[in-house]
Chains A and B, each alone.
Chain A
Amino acid sequence: MSLKVAIIGFGSVGKGVIKVLSERKDDKFQVVAITDSKGAVLDDKGLDLADVLKKKNNGDLKRVNKSSMDVVKECDYDILVEVTPTDAKTGQPGLSYIIEALKRGKHVVTSNKGPVALKYKELKELAKKNNVQFLFEATVGGSMPVFNLMRGPLAGNEINSIEGIFNGTCNYILTRMASEGLPYDMVLSEAKELGIAEADPTYDVEGIDTALKMVILANSVFGMDVGLDDVDRVGISSVCLEALKLAGEADMVIKLIGEVHPNGEERVLKVSPRLVPKTHPLAVQGTLNAALIRTKLAGDIFVIGKGAGSVETASAILSDMLYIASLQ
């Protein structure tokens, strides 16, 4: 029997999920609702995803007048895929959707960092109480497996710490500056033109995005109880070209590194530009993300992959959905 899926959010990530699901040959999932700010498309028997996607791209998608919250509250589905944009301060509107769905005893899969960073504990408890899953692989490192890796292949390992590059925009900027000898402002403009950086890049370059991910890791992997303000955070906007050159002369690169070490009084919860030897596995180029997971039994494990992108993020969401399907 297929699991019924409601997708909230029809932006880049939502489109990726719909594209990926439309190309699947099995009938594990049946998408019964897709919503965005303009309304909803519904079909109890399962939507024709390729058709919906085509119409969305052409701008002639016909929606019914139902809000996302209406769908979350009323619609008959098994899994809520919540892929609305992140609000780091309030977590809304995603947070309300997630709470409502969990209360109804529905599984939730999200790519939205805000709710997970702000309310991890409450949401996890709510999911447990209602005997459903609350999964968020896509929130950290995009396509890069982090939570699933620790739950599956690394299960049985105590995780000592996690550190790495979790923001592709910053990594792109630092890589371009170092390899082309271009100043920060110029590379930032270039990144905006390419769509790698947002028009307002504050969220990325000041390390807020990376810090949110560290909060998610801290709370969910290490059982800490921290928020965005607990992260010791420095972004990359003051990293100048000269600093990169000096690092390069010593065979090093500068990377924006997020790290979480839960170890007692020496607890580290930090985002900062750091020196990384050019030969170190974390010295990845371009928009790539990389994580170093230090474990008790397996030693150091490195994961490298695409940290963003529509289909790449959908891959992480799909892995959570398939995990839920495997439990049925």
Chain B
Amino acid sequence: MRITMDLELKDIPGQLVKALEPISDAGGNIVSVVHHHEQRTNRGTIPLQVVFEMDDGLGALKEKLESRGIKVVRFNEMRLLERKTVVLVGHIIHSDIRDTIEHIDSTGYAEVVDLSMSMPGISLKSSARIGISATGKAEMKKALKLLRDIAMEKDLLVIEPIGEEA
């Protein structure tokens, strides 16, 4: 599972290593480290945000960090970093929109965070705008692929956003 941890470090040398060591020691695979040097807190500490993958032992890790004088401000198991909007066209209600949403939500790495619908008439095709959040770019790609597969099964048109990679 992916964990995002916000830490606070004392402004003395060697603190970064002190904070990261226990994470790798505990088997965590560090994905990203952001050192907010410019955003010093009024306690004089420096915020550090670490994203890593780890299966268990989070409680023990937190204790170990705190025993080293590193403040664990908060940690989330999942942080939804990516956001995309998609429009669906077709018989959305009849093809069970709830089931479609549950499919995305049950992935564990993506969820539907926003839904707007427009239904012009009983037998006419309806449209829905869905906001999807995911833990990262790769996860978003997987979620969109899943949505595409569901749409194909339910005969819905998926209007995806254009790519944005440079």
Binding site for B on A (CB under 8 A): 163, 234, 238-243, 245-247, 249-250, 252, 254-255, 257, 259, 272-277, 280, 282, 294, 299-300
> Are A274 and B160 neighbours in the complex by a CB distance under 8 Å?
yes
Task: Determine whether B133 belongs to the interface, using a CB cutoff of 8 Å to chain A.
Answer: no
* CB-contacts of B53-94 with A (<8 A): 85-87, 89-90
Contact partner of B162 (CB less than 8 A), chosen from A239, A242, A247, A280, is: A280
* CB-contacts of B147-166 with A (<8 A): 157, 159-163, 166
15 contacts between A and B (CB under 8 A): A163-B162, A238-B125, A243-B87, A247-B129, A247-B159, A249-B116, A249-B129, A272-B159, A272-B160, A273-B159, A274-B162, A275-B86, A275-B162, A277-B161, A299-B166
Chain A residues near B86 (CB-CB < 8 A): 275
Bound-state Cα–Cα, A102 to B111, Å: 57
Chain B residues near A242 (CB-CB < 8 A): 89, 118-120, 126-127
Task: Determine whether B128 belongs to the interface, using a CB cutoff of 8 Å to chain A.
Answer: yes
> Are A240 and B116 neighbours in the complex by a CB distance under 8 Å?
no
> Are A275 and B160 neighbours in the complex by a CB distance under 8 Å?
yes
Chain B residues near A249 (CB-CB < 8 A): 116, 129
> Are A300 and B162 neighbours in the complex by a CB distance under 8 Å?
no
Chain B residues near A163 (CB-CB < 8 A): 162-163
- Given A240-B125, A242-B126, does the pair A250, B157 have CB atoms closer than 8 Å? no
Chain A residues near B119 (CB-CB < 8 A): 242
- Given A254-B159, A275-B86, does the pair A246, B129 have CB atoms closer than 8 Å? yes
Contact partner of A238 (CB less than 8 A), chosen from B85, B89, B129, is: B89
Bound-state Cα–Cα, A252 to B143, Å: 21
Bound-state Cα–Cα, A276 to B164, Å: 10
Determine the residue in chain A with the shortest Cβ distance to B129. A246
Number of interface residues of B (CB under 8 A): 21
> Are B127 and A238 neighbours in the complex by a CB distance under 8 Å?
no
Chain B residues near A277 (CB-CB < 8 A): 161
- Closest A-B pairs by Cβ, 3 of them: A242-B118, A246-B129, A242-B127
CB distance from A177 to the nearest CB of B (A): 13
Determine the residue in chain B with the shortest Cβ distance to A283. B162
Interface flags, B120-136, vs A, CB<8A=1, else 0 = 10000111110000000
Bound-state Cα–Cα, A96 to B126, Å: 48
Bound-state Cα–Cα, A245 to B119, Å: 12
Bound-state Cα–Cα, A246 to B115, Å: 10
> Are A282 and B159 neighbours in the complex by a CB distance under 8 Å?
no
Bound-state Cα–Cα, A194 to B110, Å: 46
Bound-state Cα–Cα, A266 to B89, Å: 26
Chain A residues near B89 (CB-CB < 8 A): 238-240, 242-243
* Interface hub of B89, B116, B119 (most chain A Cβ within 10 A): B89
Contact partner of B127 (CB less than 8 A), chosen from A243, A257, A259, A272, is: A243
> Are A246 and B161 neighbours in the complex by a CB distance under 8 Å?
no
Chain B residues near A247 (CB-CB < 8 A): 87, 129, 159
CB distance from A272 to the nearest CB of B (A): 7
Bound-state Cα–Cα, A255 to B157, Å: 14
> Are A243 and B159 neighbours in the complex by a CB distance under 8 Å?
yes
> Are A250 and B85 neighbours in the complex by a CB distance under 8 Å?
yes
CB distance from A258 to the nearest CB of B (A): 11
- Given A163-B162, A240-B125, A246-B129, does the pair A275, B87 have CB atoms closer than 8 Å? yes
- Given A239-B159, A273-B159, A274-B159, does the pair A246, B125 have CB atoms closer than 8 Å? no
> Are A252 and B118 neighbours in the complex by a CB distance under 8 Å?
no
Chain A residues near B120 (CB-CB < 8 A): 240-242
CB distance from B125 to the nearest CB of A (A): 6
Chain A residues near B129 (CB-CB < 8 A): 246-247, 249-250
Chain B residues near A282 (CB-CB < 8 A): 162
> Are A257 and B125 neighbours in the complex by a CB distance under 8 Å?
no
Bound-state Cα–Cα, A242 to B93, Å: 15
Bound-state Cα–Cα, A300 to B163, Å: 13
Chain A residues near B159 (CB-CB < 8 A): 239, 243, 247, 254, 272-275
